[in-house]
Amino acid sequence: MSGHLVFETALGFIAIAWSDAGLTRLALPTQSRDAADGNVRRWPAPGPAIAEADAPHFVTEATALARRYAQGETVDFSALPFDLAGIEPFRRAVYAAALKLAQGEVTTYGELAARAGFPTMARETGQALGRNPLPLVIPCHRILAAGGKVGGFSAPGGASTKLRLLAHEGVQLGPQDPAQSSFAF
C-alpha cells in the first residue's frame, strides 16, 4: 500500500511517502503543515494521505526515528527499507555510501565519491545528492565541499539549512564564504 503523511517533530513538519517496498520520499522539516502538504503536492504519485496510526510499520518506525532525531537523540535510519526504483546505480551507490555516515560525521564530495567506488566523480556525487529523494534519512547534509566549506544544498533554505542540520548534530564549521550560503545545486 503506497501513501503519504505529514507529521510534526520538534524541528517542524515533515512529509514522508512510501510504496509497498519502502520509503520513497521525505521532505525536510517546514514551519507549517501547509508547507509540508505543499511539498507532497510536488512529488510524483505520492499515494493517498494515510493516518499515521494506519501506516505500515516501517513508516511508523521512520516517523519515530525522525522525532527522536529532532529531539537531539542519535539515531540511525539505515535499517529502514527504501524504494529507490528508477534511480540509476551510480546514485544508489552514492546514497548507500552516505547512509554509512554516522550522525555528526562529515565527509567531502570527493571522499564520498571514492567510498561509493567512483573516485573521480566528486561533482557528479554532488549532483546525485542534490536529487536525493530522502534527505535526512539519506544524510546528504553531512557532505561538504573540499576544505571544509559547506558546499551546496538543494533543500529550501540552501546552505543555511545544511548548516542548521549540522549544528543540530553538533558539527560546527569554521567561517563560511557568504556567497556559499546562497548556493544550492
The catalytic residue among 23, 140, 144, 150 is 140
Tell me whether residue 157 is one of the annotated catalytic residues: no
The rounded distance, in Å, linking the Cα atoms of 94 and 128 is 7
Strand ranges, E, within the chain: 3-9, 12-18, 23-30, 107-108, 143-144
Q: Cell triple for residue 163? A: 548548516
Of 6, 12, 42, residue with least CA distance to 164: 12
Find the farthest-apart pair of alpha carbons in the chain and give their distance in angstroms, rounded: 46
Residues 170, 40: Cα–Cα separation, whole Å? 29
- Residue 7 has which C-alpha cell? 507529521
Other beta carbons less than 10 A from residue 139's beta carbon: 26
Q: What is the set of active-site residues?
A: 140
